[in-house]
Chains A and B, each alone.
Chain A
């Protein structure tokens, strides 16, 4: 199996898990990681810095049409939706929020699903709304691998539970197991 891209979505209760994942990936980890995370309006600034403290890979908030490179994590910027275009670059948009969210996980996941098909691993973490469920369904439809954080471990389980009822989830894993899985990807 040759997965080439990883996308992670999360909302309430996911920040620590994302931080742990990023700090556990080795410097040599070479797949691009996309992060679509809801954030509270008042912590819009400083989010990259907070995530970067322990991360071994460089985290950036991409500009529109930014080329996607290995060894980098791309955080959807506040107030933009993040898409993935053929030709290996990112596209941003300011369309209306979806599921009251911008960035919306559904948009980023569905876009990654169409563009990367069976080369994509999509991981959905803790969250308090159903954003991401339809995105996960598209990932599954396009042949990508779907993973959710074990709802019993999530601070808020609405997001993962919604995804599990929307589509077939390939793996339900604890945060530790998600990390183990990613680190051992070959």
Chain B
């Protein structure tokens, strides 16, 4: 059921006036679709939705969790992770410590992807990893690190590409068992990240839009994958500025495979393959 732009404006206003959340600067097409989906999921029409937003603070939390997009995969876009391994992380081997912020970590699959890579490269112990998201439900799921086996067979294909194979040297093949990092229970349809991975990051709620850098440190690597696509250009600029200020010189920003930095803030970075490198 299509929702008009006028109604969307009313919804955004109602959420803004009745909660701490502000979606004014969200990208309009996908936000509209998320609201249309929420109407179906909650079995409401637009008028009832507006009333509930105004009367029921708990509902607003539910709604926000429903409309933020949380899809993620282990080693999504293997090419990017291969490049991270051989072109980026390889340069950090001499570092004493590596500060990493994963913003918009969602249900954690890409946090675990990163941790596995770090472990394979003997960088795990040197790394300080912060993993944040606006949605507390997904943080809990990320911490649990438990995913369906059956629906995620693609995870293992991606794992093979990034962890077992070397795209820059086809003769190289490392037989690394999945069980090194996951407990796999096919009968109960569960893959679960091992405890040493789950315990590694500092997981917490953080609103990228409102809070900026709250860490009292700068970072060597910031990951923020497929989050900026939901923001309009103004908000995108603001968030990238935060990242720019939060990166050490030559720090690396890793965004989604089909996201790009546009406008003046792009001048703070040098684009190198899939990555943005903070200038001096």
Let me know if A95 and B69 touch, CB within 8 A: yes
Residue from B30, B71, B236, B256 whose CB has the most chain A CB atoms within 10 Å? B30
Report the bound CA distance from A62 to B259 in whole Å.
9
Let me know if B154 and A62 touch, CB within 8 A: no
Say yes or no for B99: interface residue by CB 8 A criterion. no
Interface size, A (range): 20 to 34
> Which residues of chain A come closer than 8 Å to B28, judged between CB atoms?
85-86
Say yes or no for B63: interface residue by CB 8 A criterion. no
Q: How far is the CB of A111 from chain B (nearest CB, A)?
A: 6
Task: Give the secondary structure class of A's interface.
Answer: loop
Report the bound CA distance from A65 to B230 in whole Å.
10
Contact status of A93 and B257, CB under 8 A, knowing A45-B79, A114-B2: no
Let me know if A93 and B260 touch, CB within 8 A: no
Report the bound CA distance from A63 to B226 in whole Å.
11
Report the bound CA distance from A86 to B29 in whole Å.
9
**Given B33, B76, B259, B262, which contacts A95 in the complex, CB threshold below 8 Å?**
B33
Let me know if B69 and A79 touch, CB within 8 A: no
> Which residues of chain B come closer than 8 Å to A66, judged between CB atoms?
260
> Which residues of chain B come closer than 8 Å to A64, judged between CB atoms?
228-229, 256, 258-260
Let me know if A96 and B71 touch, CB within 8 A: yes
Bits for A77-106, please: 1 = Cβ < 8 Å to B, else 0.
101100111100001111110000000000
Q: How far is the CB of B196 from chain A (nearest CB, A)?
A: 29
Say yes or no for B233: interface residue by CB 8 A criterion. yes
Within 8 A of B (CB), among A2-24: none
Let me know if A65 and B262 touch, CB within 8 A: yes
Let me know if B30 and A83 touch, CB within 8 A: yes
Report the bound CA distance from A24 to B256 in whole Å.
34
Let me know if B33 and A85 touch, CB within 8 A: no
Q: Which residue of A lies closest to B226 (CB)?
A: A94
Say yes or no for B27: interface residue by CB 8 A criterion. yes
Let me know if B71 and A94 touch, CB within 8 A: yes
> Which residues of chain B come closer than 8 Å to A79, judged between CB atoms?
76-77, 257
Let me know if A77 and B30 touch, CB within 8 A: no
Let me know if B258 and A95 touch, CB within 8 A: no
Q: Which residue of B lies closest to A42 (CB)?
A: B157
Let me know if A95 and B30 touch, CB within 8 A: yes
Contact status of A63 and B230, CB under 8 A, knowing A79-B76, A85-B29: no
> Which residues of chain B come closer than 8 Å to A107, judged between CB atoms?
33
Contact status of A91 and B27, CB under 8 A, knowing A64-B229, A65-B233, A79-B77: yes
Let me know if B154 and A77 touch, CB within 8 A: no
Bits for A48-64, please: 1 = Cβ < 8 Å to B, else 0.
00000000000001111
Closest 10 CB pairs of A and B: A83-B29, A64-B229, A63-B260, A93-B30, A94-B226, A77-B258, A63-B258, A94-B71, A91-B29, A64-B259
10 further A-B contacts with Cβ under 8 Å, apart from A62-B258, A64-B259, A91-B27, are A45-B79, A65-B262, A79-B77, A85-B28, A91-B229, A92-B229, A93-B33, A93-B229, A95-B34, A95-B69
13 example contacts (A-B, Cβ-Cβ < 8 A) are as follows A41-B154, A61-B258, A65-B229, A79-B77, A83-B29, A83-B33, A85-B28, A91-B29, A92-B229, A93-B33, A94-B226, A95-B69, A111-B29
